Amino acid sequence: MFTFHLIDENNAHTILSWQYEPPYDLYNYLKAEANLLQHILHPQSTFYSIVDKNNELVAYCSFGEDGQVTGGDYRDQALDIGMGIRPDLTGRGKGAEYANVVLEFADSLFKPKVFRVTIAAFNKRAIRVWQKLGFEHQQSFERETDGM
């Protein structure tokens, strides 16, 4: 039902243009983050486009350091997952479906012993999605740059 592709420049531009409504606007990318495009497209980055059966871009995911947030304790071995769903598809009760296919894809690609996600405390939708898939709260931290 979903296909994963290493992200290309067109999809990266599309994802960087996605605009979320408050309070999820934290995930909107700023034009000032010009180097972000190069980071996403860098061969060592692990960003993937997720397209549906109609070949429409519906989400993206990343793995490893790209799924980490400054200030977190990442000493324990785990595969970190980052992901975003196209704004018009959020809040429709499909988050667990997207997250589950990302887990399946990551498992087939990396065969990790443990997965980890870092979620902003306000993002109750994402917290519910990952808890539904068996994830448990392990730690909380504040980002020094802005206290989030």
**pLDDT value, residue 5:** 97
pLDDT tens-place string over residues 13-68: 999 999 999 999 989 987 656 689 999 999 889 999 999 999 999 999 999 999 99
* Residue 78: domain span: 3-132
Classify residue 139: in a domain, yes or no: no
Q: Give 141 or 98, the one with higher predicted confidence.
A: 98
pTM, whole model, 2 decimals? 0.92
What's the whole-number mean pLDDT along residues 81-103? 97
Tell me the per-residue pLDDT of 87-97, one tens digit each, with 9 for 90 and over.
999 999 999 99
- Whether residue 146 lies inside any domain: the answer is no
Number of structural domains (the chain) is 1
Domain-embedded: residue 25 = yes
DSSP 44-85: TS-EEEEE-TT--EEEEEEEGGGG--TT----S--EEEEEEE
Average model confidence (pLDDT) for the chain? 93
6 membership: H or E segment, kind and range: strand 3-6
pLDDT at 32: 53
Residue 89 domain flag: yes
Query: Taking Cα atoms as reference points, which of 27, 65, 33 lies closest to residue 46?
Result: 65
Of 16-20, 108-112, 144-148, which range is least confident? 144-148
Pull the structure tokens for residue 68. 């980490």
What confidence score (pLDDT) does residue 31 get?
A: 60
Q: What is the CATH number of the domain that holds 10?
A: 3.40.630.30
Is residue 63 in a domain?
A: yes
- Report if residue 33 sits inside a domain: yes
Quick one: what percent of the chain has pLDDT higher than 90? 79
